[in-house]
Chain A
Amino acid sequence: MKRSTRIRLWVIAGLVGGLEVLCRTEVIGRFTMIPPSEMILGLVRIVRQGDMNADIVATLGNVAVALVSAIVVGFLVGALLFVLPRVRRVIDPLLATYYAIPIFVFYPLLIVLLGLNRFPQIAIGFMLAVVAMIVNTLNGFDRVPQSLLKTARVYRMGRVRTTFLVILPCAMLYIFTGLKLAVAYSFIGVIAAEFILSGEGLGYEISFAYNNFENATMYPLIVLVIGLSALINMVLYAWEKKYLQRQTER
């Protein structure tokens, strides 16, 4: 194991351990936070009893719909903008400033437009994720080196073959960055929307537990959401390290 990895594990263990001690000695009161060990036990209990299964399924389903549509639409729009440079020039300022706009302010509007159901939540997740996908798809296509395109011509490849055998594999590295961000953003968007106003899902259950002073339910759920998103993030990170980084320049 690398030295930095070992130190990192110790740091995290120290932080969790410290929190445990502070909670157990009532330096941090029970109404503020329950000890980390109880969070884990609570999580095991919740998963065993299956009380939250419907919410877990609802949240993951919404994230999945938001993510898949953001990936498909983002890629297609990115590809379209790449072949239409004039349109791209007009849209470019919007893409560059998009993430400065607090997308969540559209949530009330979306609820009015689409009703108080799962669609406004999916829409927020989609809106947050899609532009990361567009920007990185464009970036990927931009970075295909001229020398590779010339090589395709030396092999006398047509447009279609050049696209599928040279441009797409080459752009994949950057498109994957967009994908990684889209996963994180669709998760953030859906959970936050559920949290602010909704009737089901993990975000809703956390805010419900908060409003009812149920720390014994709230903290395990927070651990579940954070753990889930950190896990997905780590899997993508590891996959990228293993398969994609060997293809990039040192």
Chain B
Amino acid sequence: MVTRSLLRPLLDAIVLVAVVTLAWQGLYEYAGDVALTPPLETVSLALDLLGSARFWPHVRETGLAVAQGLAIAVLGGLSIGLTLGIHRLSGEVAEPILVALYSIPKITLYPVILLIFGIGMPAKVAFGAIHGIIPIIIFSMNAMRNIHPVYLKTARVMRLGPLPLATRVLLPAALPEVFTGLRVGFALTLVGTLMGEMFGSQRGIGFMLMRAMGSHDMATIMSVTLLLVLFATLVSVALLVVDRRLHRFG
């Protein structure tokens, strides 16, 4: 039974990959060389790219931008979100604004950021951060709000001081929701950074994609897209596993 429960998701994953690969191959047969490269060739192109010197400076650039943007989004998002969660009135005031900010096309703000920071790293970081920070704020605010009041009463009955209250009760109780926010925040920071690079940048993965499109370099477009999708999926699966484990206690 144990082997069966472990084998099943693996089998499902293999089926999923097989179906996607087949669909991809089918699309290639239909659209031909001009439009895309077939799966196997793309994998070998991607491996070549991973071994090439021209690829890594772009990865470094994007990686740095995402890391800095994420740091700002996490630190800013947690402190704002947790504060709004504790102070009920501020939370009520801010919530509709945050939801509206989440749903507007933030790319229209990119020119404003470019005008403020100029083309380069700071603009990318800022653009990634404004994408990532909003879900982190919303999730951590709700995490604090949704802590069961009886936990707080229990803590008072046990005469916990402010520090043990924060570290032993509030944090563990809010952690699952906060983590979900971080997971979504990571994904959106990556999206924001790449979008920024696609529009106004001279370096980075997004720029690489746009330049390849300009010169109709299908090999680069396909292999970069494949690597990005694989990377995003792997990180997301890892975060999702942690997320689900945290939520099991809740």
Taken together as a complex, chains A and B put the C-alpha atoms of A210 and B111 apart, in Å, by 6
B194 touches A102 (CB 8 A): yes
One of A33, A94, A226 near B115 (C-beta < 8 A): A33
Contact in complex: A229, B104 (CB < 8 Å): yes
Neighbouring B residues of A210 by C-beta, 8 Å: 111, 114-115
Pair A101/B103 contact, Cβ less than 8 Å: no
- Chain B residue contacts of A221, Cβ below 8 A: 108
Taking CB atoms and an 8 Å cut-off, the chain B residues in 91-107 that contact chain A are 92-94, 96-97, 99-100, 102-107
Q: Is the beta-carbon distance between A108 and B195 smaller than 8 angstroms?
A: no
B144 in the interface (beta carbon within 8 A): no
In Å, the complex CA distance between A163 and B116 comes to 55
The reply to whether B111 and A206 contact each other, CB–CB distance below 8 Å, is: yes
B88 to chain A, nearest CB (A): 9
Find out whether the CB atom of B191 lies under 8 angstroms from the CB atom of A93: no
B216 beta carbon closer than 8 Å to chain A: yes
A97-B237, A112-B35, A210-B111 known; A184 vs B224 contact (CB < 8 Å): no
A197, B89: Cα distance in complex, Å: 43
Contact among A93, A103, A112 with B12 in the assembled complex (CB-CB below 8 Å): A93
Q: How far is the CB of B191 from chain A (nearest CB, A)?
A: 4
CB-nearest residue of chain A to B212: A108
Collect the chain A residues with CB atoms within 8 Å of residue B187's CB.
99-100
Q: In the complex the two chains form, is A191's CB within 8 Å of B224's CB? A: no
* Chain A residue nearest in CB terms to B229: A101
Taking a contact as CB atoms under 8 Å apart, the answer to whether A90 and B232 are in contact is no
Contact across chains for B224 and A105 when beta carbons are under 8 A apart: yes
- Complex CA gap A91/B92 in Å reads 37
The smallest C-beta distance from A125 to any residue of chain B, in angstroms, reads: 10
With an 8 Å Cβ cutoff, the count of chain B residues facing the other chain is 62
At the interface, yes or no: B151 with Cβ under 8 Å from chain A?
no
- Docked pose: A83 CA to B100 CA in angstroms: 35
Chain B interface mostly helix, strand, loop or mixed? Answer: helix
> Closest CB of chain B to A209's CB: distance in Å?
8
- Contact B233–A97 (Cβ < 8 Å): yes
Kindly provide the distance from the CB of A219 to the nearest chain B CB, expressed in whole angstroms. 8
Looking at the assembled complex, report how far the CB atom of A143 sits from the nearest CB atom of chain B, in whole angstroms.
17
- Quick check: A226 and B108 within 8 Å, CB to CB? yes
A191-B107 contact in complex given A93-B237, A112-B216, A196-B199, C-beta closer than 8 Å:
yes
> Is B184 interfacial (CB-CB < 8 Å)?
yes
Within 8 A of B (CB), among A182-222: 183-184, 187-188, 191-192, 195-197, 203, 206-207, 209-210, 215, 218, 221-222
14 contacts between A and B (CB under 8 A): A12-B97, A32-B116, A97-B240, A100-B239, A101-B229, A109-B222, A113-B35, A187-B103, A188-B105, A210-B114, A222-B108, A226-B108, A233-B99, A237-B96
> Interface on B for A, CB 8 Å cutoff?
9, 12-13, 15-16, 19, 31, 34-36, 89, 92-94, 96-97, 99-100, 102-112, 114-116, 183-184, 186-187, 190-191, 194-195, 198-199, 206, 209-210, 212-213, 216, 218, 221-222, 224-225, 228-229, 232-233, 235-237, 239-240
Q: Which 9 A-B pairs have the closest CB atoms?
A: A100-B236, A184-B103, A108-B213, A4-B92, A191-B105, A210-B111, A100-B187, A97-B236, A102-B191
